[in-house]
Amino acid sequence: MGHDGEAETKTVECRRLTKVFRRLLASREKSVYALREVSLSVQRGQIVGLIGPNGAGKSTLLNLIAGLILPSEGHVAVCGHPARSIAARRGLGYMPEHPVFPGLYTARAILQYHGALLGLSSRAVSLQTDRSIEQLQLQEFIDRPASDFSQGMKQRLALAIAMMDDPQLLLLDEPSNGLDPIGIVQLRDLLKRLSSSGTAVVISSHRLGELEKLTSDYIFMHRGRIISFADRIAANRAGRLRVELVSNGPDIAARLLPASRVLDASDTELVIAIGDPEEVPDIVSHLATDGARIMSVLLERENIEEVFLRLCNEGTQP
């Protein structure tokens, strides 16, 4: 999500985005700052997870990129064009959190409707529909009214709509809502395939475990600000080193390690706090050189949920 990628590979670029919601006739003090000076870019083929607690500004950021709302300050560009312009929308596929479809339409009719809105010819719409049916396993449901669909089926259909005409950017708001485990795996594989073919994907999701299997690029948001780019902290992701010893764990810990880094010390095991994984060889070497008889070493890194909680806690500190 770099700031340093080349301009031509940037699918999304946000510069100092601020969004203030103000009720009609309300005073300035009652304004809600949904986003404050957010800057980021998403490269071609990159999958980015937007993470944050409720009210962090994730959906506002997605809406700004989709051009659904206008920034109070700052600038958003999609595929090099200002967001909300027709040129920007040409490369955009958007999937809302709760997709809704008109009552009498079958899934096929809905795909044809959206294909027509994209300006595709009837032949292209037909091809796209067939491809979506195959990719998202819609065969069984394609001629049923979409109003009868379960949440998971609605999600699949909404994803099929977002993916029509191979967009350069996919914006997905909680895409795995209501999907069964098979659907989630299919979704993951599909997004990875799209990404490898150059589509940038921005996902807002609370399912951190799922997100972790899909990407290592996260944007952590808190109170309208980006509090960390996860790719920057990935190398420094906090973790624990479990060192299995023959004996004398507490003694070795007291002699060789600063107390603040020892999380636990039993006779046969030491648990050591690790900031940077690159420290591990040095620590192991230091322990072994100074007499510790090491049986095994296991590095346990924080999973994305733990990182999320830690960053939220840090973000709430004064």
Partner 1 sequence: MRARELIQETFFRRTYIWIVHVIWLALYGVFYWLFLPDTPELGQFIFIWAGFFLALALSAGIFGDDIASGRICVLVTKPFWTGELYIYRLLGLSLQAAAHLVLAASLVLVLHAIMRKGSVDNLGVWLLASWLLFNTCAALSASLSIVVTRAFNSLLLLVLIVTGYFVMGLLTMYLRHEASTGALASFIRYPWPPFELLYKFAAGEWGQYALTVGKYSVTKNVACVIHSLMLTTAYGVIGILLLSRRQFSRVRD
Judged by CB under 8 A, which of 67, 175, 239, 249 binds partner 1? 67
Whichever of 67 and 249 has its CB closer to partner 1, that residue is 67
Q: Is 40 in the site for partner 1 (CB under 8 A)?
A: no
Q: Is 100 in the site for partner 1 (CB under 8 A)?
A: yes
Whichever of 158 and 265 has its CB closer to partner 1, that residue is 158
Judged by CB under 8 A, which of 98, 232, 255, 286 binds partner 1? 98
Judged by CB under 8 A, which of 7, 24, 25, 86 binds partner 1? 86
Judged by CB under 8 A, which of 16, 39, 75, 122 binds partner 1? 122
Whose CA is closest to 293, among 229, 250, 254, 247? Answer: 247
Q: How far is the CB of 27 from partner 1 (least distance, A)?
A: 18
Sign of the CA dihedral running 144, 148, 150, 155: positive
Q: How far is the CB of 119 from partner 1 (least distance, A)?
A: 6
**Residue positions counted in the chain:** 318
208-267 binders of partner 1 (CB under 8 A): none
Q: How far is the CB of 170 from partner 1 (least distance, A)?
A: 11
Q: How far is the CB of 208 from partner 1 (least distance, A)?
A: 16
Whose CA is closest to 280, among 268, 291, 266, 294? Answer: 294
Whichever of 106 and 186 has its CB closer to partner 1, that residue is 106
Judged by the rule CB under 8 A, the positions of this chain that interact with partner 1 are 21, 32, 34, 54-60, 63, 66-70, 86-87, 89-90, 92, 94-105, 112-122, 125, 158, 161, 204
